[in-house]
Amino acid sequence: MNYTRFINGLSAARKPSPIREMTKLLTQGSPDLVFLASGVPNPSMFPFQGASVTLRDGSTIQLEGKTINDALQYGPTQGYGPLLAQLKEMQQKLHSPPCWTNTEVLITNGSQDGLCKAFEMMMNLNDHVIVQEPVYAGTLAILNPYKPQYVPVQCDANGLIPEELRRSLESKWKSEDTQSSKSDVPKILYVNPAGANPTGVSIPLSRRKEIYQIAKDFDLIIFEDDPYYFLQFDKERTPSFLSLDTDGRVIRFDSLSKVLSSGIRLGYVTGPRELVEPITYHMQVSVLHASSLSQVLVSELLKQWGQEGFLGHVDRVQKFYSQQREIMLKAAETHLTGLAEWNIPQGGMFLWIKCLEVSDTRPMIMDRALKKDVILLPGREFMTDPSQPCPYMRASFSLASPENIDRGFRNLAQLIREEIELTKKV
């Protein structure tokens, strides 16, 4: 793969920060090393002596001695050594990336951080960018300032339709256009392959292979934004794009938010060295590194659990969200039948609902929903062109209790009926 065409001028100008490179030496020196090189504060002046975290199973994680020192101190930009090793081992076990020898892993402040920096590495103003539509609102928020020319690809109950992707590309470009630096051919395909936000749709393996082939034909980099990978409701998790990546054209964004904690702000980027390195340099100058405390805590947890323990935990999380989904589907059947329609989410934490007689849910939700004691997100927030009315809305089944989900949908049904009456009067 030739990565030059993918890295914009700003990112190509990024160089390793000398101070951060010195910090690497801190971890490589001999025990006798006298380190006078950098402004690393003296931990004996930190007020924190140790920390103990209680897990739900009653066991505890003790941070003391070296672990509390590591947790409270600067660390390497790429990530806390032991955690980086654990995550690399997990990526190999789960995805067996074909290009593993040239693959890097970078720990970020949530996957949002990695996603944002990856787009900032590749995007130029007005670039074409291919997205599955509807799109996660957080990605639109990253992209919109670039005033991109979205290439929204039609999706169905199985996600992005490969034939539509190919048609969208071939209607404007030829594969050879990727050889010309002057061509405005898209460089990025952004996709949530499992339990997509907001639709809950997962792309089957057969389609992922077709999509990957199209990415080869048009020399695309696939942004595999997959925070719901562990929240797939089918018995087997579908193999990731990373596991299909024989070229080194997939940058994968994983998140610990949905399975361990969203407040610890840990995600990790996995991809070819040539594309992860510029993101690392960006980290060096923006946040230096993800939180040491969060990284050490998670590393100690994974040490205590082992991979089997972690995978057992994520199975319990998956079962919880699967039950929450059933509760919301039952509430939708009970209260929304005749007023709306929806797909059965195959993963994630969202139900994507289409009103049958309300052409635009935004005014209904933003102006009138609170009075009905229910709130959810209007579909326009997930569209590449938010100026257009949208009959969809996104309901999350992650937090509400079964009783509240039922009450919320009862209120929502009333809200929709009143909206229909209102539009009839107009």
Ligand X SMILES: Cc1ncc(COP(=O)(O)O)c(CNc2cc3ccccc3n(O)c2=O)c1O
The residue ranges that bind ligand X (CB under 6 A) are 110-112, 136, 138, 192, 197, 225, 227, 255, 257, 262, 267
In the complex, least distance from residue 255 CB atom to ligand X, rounded to whole angstroms: 3
Burial class (CB in 10 A: 0-12, 13-18, 19+), 340: buried
Q: In this complex, which beta carbon is closest to ligand X, that of residue 229 or of residue 409? A: 229
Q: What is the smallest separation between the CB atom of 184 and ligand X, expressed in angstroms?
A: 26
Going by the DSSP 8-state scheme, the letter that residue 232 receives in this structure is B
Beta-carbon neighbour count of residue 297 at 10 Å? 23
Q: Helices in 190-272 by DSSP H: which ranges?
A: 205-217
DSSP state at residue 100:
G
Nearer to ligand X, 231 or 302 (CB): 231
Three-state SS letters, 345-391:
CCECCEEEEEECCCCCHHHHHHHHCHHHCCCCEEHHHHCCCCCCCCC
Minimum separation from the CB atom of position 107 to ligand X (A): 12
- Distances in Å between the alpha carbon of 156 and those of 277, 311, 397? 35, 30, 21
Minimum CB distance to ligand X, residue 139 (Å): 7
Q: Compute the least distance from the CB of residue 398 to ligand X, in Å.
A: 9
**Residues 6 or more apart from 312 whose CB is under 8 A from it?**
305
CB of 225 to ligand X, least distance (A): 5
Cβ–Cβ contacts within 10 Å for residue 10, how many? Answer: 13
Shorter beta-carbon distance to ligand X: residue 151 or 290:
290
- Cβ closer to ligand X: 114 or 162? 114
How far apart, in Å, are the Cα atoms of 230 and each of 30, 135, 260? 40, 20, 11
Q: By C-beta, is 227 or 248 nearer to ligand X?
A: 227
Tokens for 402, please give them. 């079964």
CA atoms of 90 and 93, how far apart (whole Å)? 5
Cα→Cα distances 409→354, 373, 397, Å: 14, 10, 11
Q: In degrees, to the nearest 5, what angle opens at C-alpha 323 toward C-alphas 320 and 326?
A: 155
Q: For ligand X, which is the closer residue by CB, 255 or 361?
A: 255
Which residue number has the CB closest to ligand X?
110
Least distance (Å) between residue 111 CB and ligand X: 4
| Choice between 118 and 169, CB closer to ligand X | 118
Q: Least distance (Å) from ligand X to the CB of residue 378?
A: 12
Residues with Cβ within 8 Å of residue 98, at least 6 apart in sequence: 243, 244, 245, 246
Listed residue (251, 295, 283) closest to 77, CA to CA: 283
Q: Residue 290 or residue 339: which is nearer to ligand X going by CB?
A: 290
The nearer residue to ligand X, 185 or 265, going by C-beta atoms, is 265
Say how far apart CA 151 and CA 340 lie, in whole Å. 28
Q: Please report how close the Cβ of residue 278 comes to ligand X at its closest, in angstroms.
A: 20
